[in-house]
Amino acid sequence: MNQIAYLDNAATTQVDPEVLETMIPYMKECYGNPSSTYALGRDSRSAIESARKQVAEILGVKATSIYFTSGGTESNNTAIAASVNDLGCTHIITSPIEHHAVLHTVKHYAKNSKISYSFVRLNAAGDVDLDDLERQLVEYAKNGHKCLVSLMHANNEIGVMLEIESVGTIARRYGAIFHSDCVQTIGHYPINLINFGVHFASASAHKFHGPKGTGILYVSDGTKFGALLHGGGQERKKRAGTENVHGIIGFAKALKLSMENFLYDHSYIKSLNKRMRIGLKEIAKEITFNHSETSLYTVLSANFQSGSNTDLMLSLLDSKGIYASGGSACSSTEDEGSHVISALNRNLPGATIRFSFSKMTSVEDIDFAIESIKGILTPTNHALSI
């Protein structure tokens, strides 16, 4: 088989074999419907509740605050819908670099109901201007609005991280609801959601070696909200539909493993990120990075300057077995470039490529990728050789 290097772990990760092993019995032997009252069903129910307890303990919250969903998209949609429909929010403060699961949902509500939205000011690196956030909260409260603040904990394309505890404090000071898309951080950092001051937080198992199609929505104690999906009474009547039992088991196991091995994995992945940065700098002198000391350690966004474009470079990388992306995997189905890079005015000439790493990335993967990229760059080290 030809060598490949999978460097797109912010899009999704390979399921950890230990996670898979924990899930299999819930498809083979313990396959009862958790709503069935006989023993086979009760076993599934009890497995879900143990998983919920385990997830809650790891995130420092009550088990009753955790709702299992189909992933980050559903969790983000539910949090925004609940804020508008059930919690009386009439204005949403968000940022132009949120994932589309937030941005498109906000725009949907702004179009279809009497909801307005505004973007908080960002600096060139994508950091949220906290003074501007506070100014907006004061202004909208003065005009009689209850605000929802929806800001992601870490950006999936460039890795910029939010000062989440400060945002939580500011939002609560002005009576706003605070939702954070934590899809790129839960499972990647030890997190205590109480300290964040969030009312809602979203996470997704496939970003940390769990199965696809399973996520959580954290809802803080006392935050009343209605269902997005209607039907049966699952998830305490907040999320109808037969539970994805094996997915839920996989979520809890993946989260447990990620936190047990955090110190080792974190420093290993950081070292891969650094190796990639140094290696790329050596072969492409003009390269620039959308990266700072405080940004998400799993992501490296690089701009290869003149002579190329993102799509062309991605296809050349693909032909060499290097799997990376131009931005969010979800936006690759939309006919536009990265909305994150555009919002930050970073549309530099050339190609912007996101490399992202995990504990399953090897040093050989990095070296193979650097060697292959060298092969597709011209001798001037900045234009693609085609």
User: Known catalytic residues?
Assistant: 330
Residue 161 beta carbon to ligand PLP: minimum distance, rounded to whole angstroms: 12
Q: What is the sign of the dihedral through the CA atoms of 38, 44, 45 and 49?
A: positive
Q: CB of residue 155 vs ligand PLP: minimum separation in angstroms?
A: 7
Tokens linked to 288: 């620039």
Q: Nearer Cβ to ligand PLP, position 185 or 308?
A: 185
Nearest-approach distance from CB 199 to ligand PLP, in angstroms:
17
In the list 99, 246, 359, 382, the residue contacting ligand PLP (rule: CB under 6 A) is 99
Distance, CA of 149 to CA of 180 (rounded, Å): 8
CA distance 186 to 204: 8
The stretch near ligand PLP (CB under 6 A) out of 77-85, 122-130, 181-189, 333-341 is 181-189
Q: Which stretch binds ligand PLP (CB under 6 A): 48-56, 65-73, 262-270, 317-325?
A: 65-73
Give the residue, chosen from 32, 34, 72, 211, that forms a contact with ligand PLP under the rule CB under 6 A.
Answer: 72
Minimum Å distance from CB 144 to ligand PLP?
A: 31
Q: How far is the CB of 284 from ligand PLP (least distance, A)?
A: 26
What is the DSSP-derived secondary structure letter of residue 91?
E
Binding to ligand PLP (CB under 6 A): which residues in 258-277?
A: none
Q: Name which of 297, 218, 212, 208 is nearest 255 in CA terms.
A: 208
**Binder to ligand PLP among 73, 244, 273, 331 (CB under 6 A)?**
73
Q: What is the dihedral of CA 80, 81, 84, 86, to 10 degrees?
A: -120
Which x/- pattern, by CB under 6 A, does the window 123-162 give for ligand PLP? Answer: -----------------------------x---x------
CB 323 within 8 A of CB 6: yes
Residues between 205 and 244 that touch ligand PLP (CB under 6 A): 215
Interacting residue with ligand PLP among 330, 343, 348, 360 (CB under 6 A):
330
Question: Per the structure block, which two tokens stand in for 17?
Answer: 């074999």
Computed over its alpha carbons, how large is the radius of gyration of the chain?
21
User: Where do the H-state alpha helices sit in the chain?
Assistant: 17-23, 25-28, 39-59, 72-85, 100-112, 130-142, 164-173, 193-196, 234-237, 245-260, 262-283, 310-319, 339-343, 363-376
Residues within the interface to ligand PLP (CB under 6 A): 71-73, 99, 101, 152, 156, 181, 183-184, 204, 215, 328-330
